[in-house]
Amino acid sequence: MHQGPAIETRGLTKRFRGGQLAVNQLDLTVPRDSVFGFLGPNGSGKTTTIRMLMGLIAPTSGTASLLGRPMPKASRTVLPRVGALIEGPALYGFLSGRDNLIRYDSADPEADPRTRRTRVAAALDRVGLTAAAGKKSKAYSLGMKQRLGLAAALLQPRELLVLDEPTNGLDPQGMREIRALIRELAADGTTVFLSSHLLDEIEQVCTHAAVMAQGRLIVQGPVAELAARSRLAVTTPDPADAARVLKELGATDLTVTDHRVTAEPPPGEGDLADLNAALVHAGVRVRSFGMERASLEDAFVALTGEGFDVAG
Ligand SMILES: Nc1ncnc2c1ncn2[C@@H]1O[C@H](COP(=O)(O)OP(=O)(O)OP(=O)(O)O)[C@@H](O)[C@H]1O
């Protein structure tokens, strides 16, 4: 089995005919066995990138490889090892969920017809649709349709799953179910690449992430590193006094708002409990005191100087 990155792109660029530069010189590296979040606001180029990765559209320039093989050249050998869910699954509404899967499986020349029923039953079970398998798929909720699409991608064992906004349009319960499923698949050794415009979703399920803005890659790496910066946060009715005391004790980069002071704690090994004690000793009334992990959103804002929900 190939052990390099699951996905790699170099200088990958797509300019549409109208002149729109949708993806600009993208160098993406998706490690094997990661759950990789491809993050960016609407219009930042995520779907266009995924469509190039899967060989659905040709890049204007640059290269992409899946499981170590060049795309789209190696499509025929690579794509059977890759499950994909792009822009919602194509389903026949008048067929049951089970029959939709049977149809998908029958379209796969590699799939042995003798084991079809077992394979379909296992895929339905995997996504929790066994009880609803006999229902017409047009009667499915959006979440159930999405799960059926995932089941179709899971009919064969896959080394890599590529999911475009897998939780888009789902209610919170549906989102939780899909995220749990993604974690399970990853635990079984499948590399998962998913796009999302939801920062907290990426923080919840992904080990790695890349952030896109306006067709360009802003940053990529382990989620823990992207959001590693943490700051001291004190909630208090006496923010000015708190800021003064913290500054005297060596804290830097202070921000003071109504009832809150945040700061970089003093360098060195000092015990945070001593800082808290010093505040109280100086008469500062402390409501809460602790280190706050910066979110991926903070990291995004710091990197781009923009809020996350900007139009692309
Ligand atoms: N076929 C096309 N022809 C022309 N422009 C396109 C085409 N497809 C996408 N674009 C443009 O390319 C840019 C990137 O779009 P893309 O769909 O890749 O973004 P995205 O990050 O996936 O956003 P979303 O979350 O809304 O799908 C957008 O400005 C979009 O309007």
Q: Is 146 touching ligand 1 by the criterion CB < 6 Å?
A: no
Mean pLDDT is highest, among 89-93, 189-193, 251-255, 268-272, for 189-193
Q: Residue 27: which pLDDT band, with cuts at 50, 70 and 90? A: very high
With 70 as the cut, is the pLDDT of residue 159 above it? yes
Burial call 95-118: b when 16+ CB within 10 Å, e when fewer: ebbbbbbbebbeeeeebeeeebee
Residue ranges, CATH 3.40.50.300, the chain: 7-223
Please name the residue whose Cα sits nearest to atom 12 of ligand 1: 22
Q: Is 20 touching ligand 1 by the criterion CB < 6 Å?
A: yes
Locate the ligand 1 atom nearest the alpha carbon of residue 44 and give its number: 21
- Residue 301: predicted pLDDT: 66
With 90 as the cut, is the pLDDT of residue 213 above it? no
Residue ranges, CATH 3.30.70.2470, the chain: 230-293
With 90 as the cut, is the pLDDT of residue 141 above it? no
Q: Residue 269: which pLDDT band, with cuts at 50, 70 and 90? A: low
With 90 as the cut, is the pLDDT of residue 101 above it? yes
- More confident position, 265 or 48: 48
Q: Is 40 touching ligand 1 by the criterion CB < 6 Å?
A: yes
- Token look-up 């990661």 returns 34
* Ligand 1 geometric centre to CA of 32 (Å): 27
- Residue 310: predicted pLDDT: 41
- Residue 288: predicted pLDDT: 94
CATH number of 230-293, picked from 3.40.50.300, 3.40.50.150, 3.30.70.2470, 3.90.1150.10: 3.30.70.2470
What span, in angstroms and rounded, lies between the C-alpha atoms of 173 and 137?
Answer: 19
With 60 as the cut, is the pLDDT of residue 234 above it? yes
Locate the ligand 1 atom nearest the alpha carbon of residue 40 and give its number: 21
ipTM: 0.94
- More confident position, 264 or 162: 162
Segment 14-33 mean pLDDT? 94
Mean pLDDT is highest, among 203-217, 226-240, 265-279, for 203-217
Please list the residues that pair with 9 across neighbouring strands. Answer: 64
What span, in angstroms and rounded, lies between the C-alpha atoms of 119 and 125?
Answer: 10
User: Across all residues in the chain, what is the average pLDDT?
Assistant: 88
Segment 8-13 mean pLDDT? 97
CATH number of 7-223, picked from 3.30.70.260, 3.40.190.10, 3.40.50.2020, 3.40.50.300: 3.40.50.300
With 80 as the cut, is the pLDDT of residue 293 above it? no
- Among the ranges given (146-160, 231-245, 259-273), the one the predictor scored with the smallest mean pLDDT: 259-273
- Residue 67: predicted pLDDT: 95
- Residue 311: predicted pLDDT: 39
- Residue 110: predicted pLDDT: 85
Distance, C-alpha 256 to centroid of its chain: 33
- Choose one of 21, 28, 39, 44 to mutate for the ligand 1 pocket test, by most ligand atoms within 8 angstroms of C-beta: 44
